[in-house]
Amino acid sequence: MNAATRRPPLAPIAPIPEEFASRYRAQGYYTEQTFPDFIRQVLESYGDRTAAVGLSTRRTYPTSSTDTVSWTYRELGEQAHLAAHHLRSLGVLPGDRVLLQLPNTLEYLSYTLGVFLAGALPIFALPKHRARDLAHFAGSTDAAAHVFAQGAEQTDYRQIYRDYSQQLTDQGKTPPVAVDVTQALPNTLPDSWVYDTPIADRSAPVLSENTALFQLSGGTTGLSKLIPRTHADYLYSVRASADICEVSGETVNLVVLPAAHNFTMSSPGILGSFYRGATLVFAHDPSPQTSFELIKTHGVTQVSLVPPLVQSWLTLATRRPLELPSLKVIQVGGAKLAPSVAERIGPVLGATLQQVAGMAEGLVNYTRLDDDPATICTTQGRPISSDDELLVVDTQGAEVEAGLAGELLTRGPYTIRAYYGAQTANRTSFTEDGFYRTGDLVIRHPDGNIEMVGRIKDQINRAGEKIATDELEDLALGLEGVQDAIAVGLPDSQLGEKIGLVLVGQLVPPAGQQALAWVRSELRQRGLSDFKLPDRVFILEKLPLTTVGKISRKDLRAQLAREFSDS
């Protein structure tokens, strides 16, 4: 199969205003380095060091082997160029978009680097994304290829690919080419391969302030939005994060969270470790048992977790004595960490906690490693850059008094000013002067640290995964007999929030089936991504009387969340 159909270029993406760009260049944040330059420079610098340890999709998924493989930077370089060549041989051209959807394996790394080396732009999808989201990501960017590992996470990615490709074809669009990285791949580069400059034949010079990749937003309205990040802005956030988090060649970074998430990728994450010639250890399952084994075997020094995971580590560690002497830093982010949990991390796990509050749109806050314990346990830190501008505003958009909670707005060298191809959302998500409205309620302390205290956006945060309430509601409205659907975040001691779905109408699940199982399977059939499926379903013949009348949807969700929460 071949992607030979020439893909149209991306719709124009407005650069940030020159007065800001020139300031960011003058400060050294924006350099001329592009991703391919960066990758080649790193690969040349660290030849014999161990770059990565983990499972290989080529061994594990076809044969169920659980043997880990280790690559030096030199071997990683070869694999990345082979991946670039593989994509090129399938017709992927410089400037094309490539949907990457890989589990935490060595190929995650070689194909991410390979996409960049091929001059293409990765779209970082999660293994749990399903047909609806994938159709949207591939369709709206005209992606040339979709890279997946058939059978990973017990999932038939080929079938998912077929499902959404059919939808795209029906809409008159050209689906991407399927690239299954569990298959045998080319193992030599052709003589014609220009090792140093595989993007030499690119039609237009890649400038570092052009779009390099797409991250995905959690979404507050409809499907996840595409976040265009530039070479210059993303690499700045990686370099600065590596400094703040003191990543060095001695660092051994355990990758437990889905690798494609912005936190795992760049805060300082996989790219920060790569930049400093550190070692990445990919965990193939998120259980604390597996992580503890890997920490002991490979001398892991740092790890990034979401609050529910760190809680499961604490639970296991209190059940039996735990020795993890190599582990120095545990980053926790993606959702609110309770101070009472934060306080236990140092004493029980013997590592320094670093709180991280970030967003794929840009802004990332860190507590610093040498902050006092109270700051580390009770705040989510402060921004990467002194040029990150933060405003805390009330519902009228006026700045609140210091110490009061308000919505966080932000603008800065690595925060986007528009989503890709989402004009309507852009009007509400950004202010006229380019601030991103985060939808987060924060308090800003006099020392500059922020405390995340809540949220005004219509989103559920389930263990760090973000679900737009209206996407779930719109899809649920299509179920037979449903007159209204309200998605609610139910407080949960383990996950932070569970996804509750209140359905109003005369629903009759087929005989013998529980409502929850039935609703989940119906939504799954409609292509809803796995992590967005409801944990609990409530069926009502009509809304409770108290909710009838002049009540906004937001208030309705809040009221039903209170009504149906266990506590």
Q: Which residues bind ligand OOB (CB under 6 A)?
A: 218, 262-263, 267, 333-336, 355-360, 364, 380, 438, 440, 452, 455, 464, 466
Q: What is d(CA 416, CA 422) in angstroms, rounded to the nearest whole number?
A: 13
| CA atoms within a 13 Å half-sphere pointing along the CA-CB vector of 237 | 30
Q: Which is nearer to ligand OOB, 83 or 254 (CB)?
A: 254
Q: Which is nearer to ligand OOB, 58 or 336 (CB)?
A: 336
Q: Which is nearer to ligand OOB, 185 or 356 (CB)?
A: 356
Cβ partners under 8 Å of residue 555, min gap 6: none
Q: Which is nearer to ligand OOB, 55 or 533 (CB)?
A: 533
- CB of 384: closest distance to ligand OOB in angstroms? 10
Q: Which is nearer to ligand OOB, 135 or 245 (CB)?
A: 245
User: 180 in helix, strand or coil?
Assistant: strand
| CA atoms within a 13 Å half-sphere pointing along the CA-CB vector of 361 | 26
Q: Which is nearer to ligand OOB, 68 or 220 (CB)?
A: 220
Inter-CA distances, 515 with 401, 509, 524, Å: 48, 6, 14
- CB of 350: closest distance to ligand OOB in angstroms? 22
- CB of 529: closest distance to ligand OOB in angstroms? 14
Q: Which is nearer to ligand OOB, 93 or 408 (CB)?
A: 408
Which residues are 505's β-sheet partners? 482
Nearest CA to 256 out of 318, 363, 334 is that of 334
Cis peptide before 339 (omega within 30 of 0): no
Inter-CA distances, 544 with 147, 341, 378, 550, 566, Å: 47, 36, 38, 13, 18
Q: Which is nearer to ligand OOB, 231 or 455 (CB)?
A: 455
- CB of 166: closest distance to ligand OOB in angstroms? 29
Q: Which is nearer to ligand OOB, 79 or 380 (CB)?
A: 380
Q: Are 293 and 256 in contact (CB under 8 A)?
A: no
- CB of 193: closest distance to ligand OOB in angstroms? 35
- CB of 309: closest distance to ligand OOB in angstroms? 13
Report the length, in residues, of the chain. 567
Angle between helical axes of 288-298 and 307-319 (0-180°, round to 10): 80
Structure-block tokens of residue 156: 């038939």
In one-letter notation, the amino acid at residue 99 is L
Burial of 91 (0-12, 13-18, 19+ CB in 10 A): middle
- CB of 410: closest distance to ligand OOB in angstroms? 10
Q: Which is nearer to ligand OOB, 333 or 527 (CB)?
A: 333
- CB of 299: closest distance to ligand OOB in angstroms? 25
For ligand OOB, the nearest residue by Cβ is 358
- CB of 440: closest distance to ligand OOB in angstroms? 5
Q: Are 243 and 271 in contact (CB under 8 A)?
A: no
Q: Are 123 and 97 in contact (CB under 8 A)?
A: yes
Within the chain, how many helices (H) and strands (E) appear?
18, 24
- CB of 352: closest distance to ligand OOB in angstroms? 16
Q: What is d(CA 90, CA 505) in angstroms, rounded to the nearest whole number?
A: 49
- CB of 217: closest distance to ligand OOB in angstroms? 6
Q: What is the DSSP string of 3-47?
A: --SPPPPPPP-PPPPHHHHHHHHHTTSS-S--HHHHHHHHHHH-T
Q: Which is nearer to ligand OOB, 338 or 551 (CB)?
A: 338
Cβ partners under 8 Å of residue 213, min gap 6: 35, 116, 121, 122, 123, 124, 228, 229, 234
